[in-house]
Amino acid sequence: MTHIDAGAELDPVHPVPLPGGARATGLTAAEVAERVARGEVNDVPVRSSRSATDIVRANVFTRFNAIIGVLWVIMLVVAPIQDSLFGFVILANTGIGIVQELRAKRTLDSLAVIGEARPTVRRDGAAVEVPTAGIVLGDLIEVGPGDKIVVDGACVEADGLEIDESLLTGEADPVVKRPGDPVLSGSFVVAGGGAFTATKVGREAYAVQLAEEASRFTLVHSELRSGISTILKYVTWMMVPTAIGLVISQLVAEHHDLRDSIARTVGGIVPMVPEGLVLLTSVAFAIGVIRLGRKQCLVQELPAIEGLARVDTVCLDKTGTLTEGGMDVTEVRLLGGGEGDEERAGYVAKVLGALGESDPRPNASLQAVVDAHPVPAGWRCTRSLPFSSARKYSGASFDEEDGQSSTWLLGAPDVLLAADDPALEATEELNRQGMRVLLLARAGEGPDVLDAVDGTAVAAAVRPVALVVLEQRLRPDAADTLRYFAAQRVRAKIISGDNAVSVGAVAGKLGLVGAEAAVDARTLPAEPDAMAGALEAGTVFGRVTPQQKREMVGALQSRGHTVAMTGDGVNDVLALKDADIGVAMGSGSEATRAVAQIVLLNNSFATLPSVVAEGRRVIGNITRVATLFLVKTVYSVLLAVLVVVSQVEYPFLPRHLTLLSTLTIGVPAFFLALAPNTERARPHFVRRVMRYAIPGGIIAATATFVTYLLARHHYTGAGALDAETSAATLTLFLVSLWVLVIIARPYTWWRVVLVAAMAGGFVLVLVVPWLQHFFALKLVGVFMPWTAVGVAAAAAAVLELTWRWVDVRFPA
């Protein structure tokens, strides 16, 4: 039994040697307790979301909340409560944003626990699973294919152990590890197995930064977020000088009552702030996270919802995505023929059983062999070559029950056989039926035979013995999902390490267009542009190496495509990392889940359409409602400028614009932001929004100011200002309502009801006496109100024509 002295300094390069090759038993329970007491634990919390404090701070302490808050306090002092309603609206909106993000946080945190990696450690000689945070300094951690190295360490045991350190070094070739070699956190196992001693845990391990970056609830790299920030920056620049001019105009030029001047000044400043836009975006994203969480979809990076909505090409790995993980052995076909086939079949069954037992962590293909063939008595594995996606075969040397020695390989027939071997014809026929075929081949003799065949000349060094035919289980939801992508104009590319003909047959069964022309990736040109052309033309690609998957993603991106990559195996990690959006299956390898932005915890490929739909809903709807908010900002700034230039009273009190904002923006935007929307997201968010908001705001401001000037000329005497304000408010409401009418298209019953309800709400204010008094709105006479309606109708017609012209002149 080997222990590491609790007080000794651990050498990451030279771990404690094992006498006589004995198997290390790991720490004892007492030693673990000692290390925990000393704080030598991997206790760095990996957050799957922002903390509650961060959420509250982000929603409360904003630039515009500060501006609105100051104005609100001023209005509470100098004006009636009606003119302070905007402050209560901001409080309510901020509260809604906090509640929704906290709900999203709870959803993310609970899902992150489900998807959390649980490394296997050896303690008291037994292998047990512990959470990542439960690892202590000196723990002996077992690893196998697909496992992520979560802490720094030193290799103690190695059985063909190959580790990919590309996420750290950028070098894609796996590194063979032997006892004594350092093992770096953030890397992952691609072949073989072994164990290593933890030499750096907690904040000392490089995995801390990697893990936090991989799973943090983040708001970066989002065109929607950055676009809104850009808009807000320009709004601030416009707002400050305009507000200063308005203050001077109302307080100095007009010489009005101080309280009334302040109230009208604030009334001009408040609507310039598109405060609800940021809030509504956060709420829409948060609700998206919650909706997807209910479908067991973990969104590890928030912009992934947005990103997948922009995807136009999705690359799918066949195994685990189109097919279920399990397989069944349907036939073992002997090659060569001749007498004694029954005896040969029995011997081959023993070989397959021994090969299955030689790998402690079999992949899906080998697991099917294990399930079909029991371990033979008297066979002992003396050397093994783990399966690798790069070489596409595995092998082992045995001492058989009769004392003979033999070496066997099991893998891809088109890799292990010469190009002219007749067995390939049978393989191709089986592949065309959608079967997966492995070749069992005998290698030469000698202790170094596995090293000799582990190269490019393997076909000349082996003798084919049998074909192992496997039937793959198609996912029942795969066909519907592929049809959904086709209907949404998202091109599906099947990229698999399996035989191209077999992959094409599987894709053909699922109805994928172009599956009949499957391409062997070994024939693809290496030059990126030429490869991109081949990828544009083809749909199904087989015999793709892990590095090729990465190159294919890059080639598609070079043609301007937004690429999503799905996968569950360790051979998918590099491509998942480089894709615009990486989607991993929950049952996939640790490394795959770590680099993916989205993890399908229920392993259901059918969840992907929900993710795409959620992203499209968020982006499409936020683009719609952003136009509503920014039309208000533009007309508010322009109205203020016109008032300053004309040296007249500002026509509105804060209560008027609070009423208009609620009926034409706030309430409708909330419903429109959460409505279904299947339109694929398009780029240039700022340009798309402003091309409508600027002309819309100019038309609304011009029409309102025209009505106001006409009313100032028409009304005289006491109460004239209230009558002028009422007429201008009517025009502004009607124009803003028409903006809503345009934004709400295409109409559904609930959209029509929504617009009608907002119009009804305004009518209610005009006809109910106490509401008239509360909002200081009362239409006087007949001529001016109908004039206000006429001006609004003309403005609506101009708005309709202008936006149609914009669609033609400045297409999105």
For residue 770, the Cα-to-chain-centroid distance in whole angstroms is 51
CA–CA distances in Å: residue 30 to residues 5, 34, 483, 699: 12, 6, 57, 78
CA–CA distances in Å: residue 105 to residues 58, 683, 704, 714, 761: 14, 28, 44, 57, 36
Query: Does a cis peptide bond (omega within 30 degrees of 0) precede residue 19?
Result: no
Q: Which amino acid does the sequence have at 781?
A: G
Cα separation, 61 vs 74, whole angstroms: 19
Give which of 275, 341, 374 is closest to 72, Cα–Cα: 275
CA–CA distances in Å: residue 554 to residues 60, 144, 449, 583: 41, 29, 38, 16
Are residues 387 and 191 in contact, defined by beta-carbon separation less than 8 angstroms? yes
Q: And the tokens for 781?
A: 């006479």
Give which of 692, 322, 349 is closest to 508, Cα–Cα: 322
Catalytic, out of 152, 159, 317, 414 = 317
118 Rama class: left (phi>0) / alpha (psi -120 to 50) / beta: beta
- For residue 710, the surrounding DSSP H or E stretch is helix 685-714
382 Rama class: left (phi>0) / alpha (psi -120 to 50) / beta: alpha
Give which of 716, 732, 713 is closest to 652, Cα–Cα: 732
| CB hemisphere CA count around 384 (13 angstroms) | 23
| Residues ≥6 apart with Cβ < 8 Å to 568 | 317, 319, 320, 321, 325, 584, 585, 587, 588, 589, 592, 603
Map tokens 């391409």 to a residue: 519
Asked if 317 is an active-site residue, the reply is yes
Are residues 369 and 329 in contact, defined by beta-carbon separation less than 8 angstroms? yes
Map tokens 């002028």 to a residue: 724
Are residues 504 and 514 in contact, defined by beta-carbon separation less than 8 angstroms? no
Q: What one-character DSSP code corresponds to residue 202?
A: G
Are residues 708 and 645 in contact, defined by beta-carbon separation less than 8 angstroms? no
Strands 297-299 vs 175-176: parallel, antiparallel or unpaired: unpaired
469 Rama class: left (phi>0) / alpha (psi -120 to 50) / beta: beta
Query: Is 417 in a helix, a strand, or coil?
Result: coil
Cα separation, 374 vs 394, whole angstroms: 19
Cα separation, 255 vs 260, whole angstroms: 10
Q: And the tokens for 495?
A: 């990229």
Q: Please give the positions annotated as active site.
A: 317
